């Protein structure tokens, strides 16, 4: 199993919900494992943040 950390608009119920993206591309729907936290610093790279 591959694990992917998503945030922002990829989260469930958001505009780019990763489950909806999987359905559009005919791939298996991901399984939500739960909420988490991550340590780090958030940087402003213009259009997208970086951690």
The predicted-structure confidence for 10-29, as pLDDT tens digits, reads as follows 888 888 888 888 899 998 88
49 bridge partner residues: 44
What confidence score (pLDDT) does residue 2 get? 82
- The rounded Cα 39 to chain-centroid distance in angstroms is 16
pLDDT at 41: 93
Average pLDDT, the chain: 86
CA distance 19 to 29: 5
What letter would DSSP give residue 32?
P
Tell me what pLDDT residue 39 has: 93
The ranges assigned to domains in the chain are: 1-33
Of residues 24 and 9, more confidence is placed in 24
The answer to whether 29 and 21 are in contact (CB under 8 A) is: no
Distance (Å, whole) CA 4 – CA 7: 10
What is the CA 30 to chain-centroid distance, rounded?
11
């Amino acid at each position: 199993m591959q694990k992917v950390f998503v945030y922002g608009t990829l989260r469930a119920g958001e505009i780019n919900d990763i489950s909806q993206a999987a359905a559009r591309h005919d791939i298996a729907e991901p399984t939500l494992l739960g909420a988490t936290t991550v340590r780090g610093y958030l940087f402003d790279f213009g259009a997208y943040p970086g951690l």
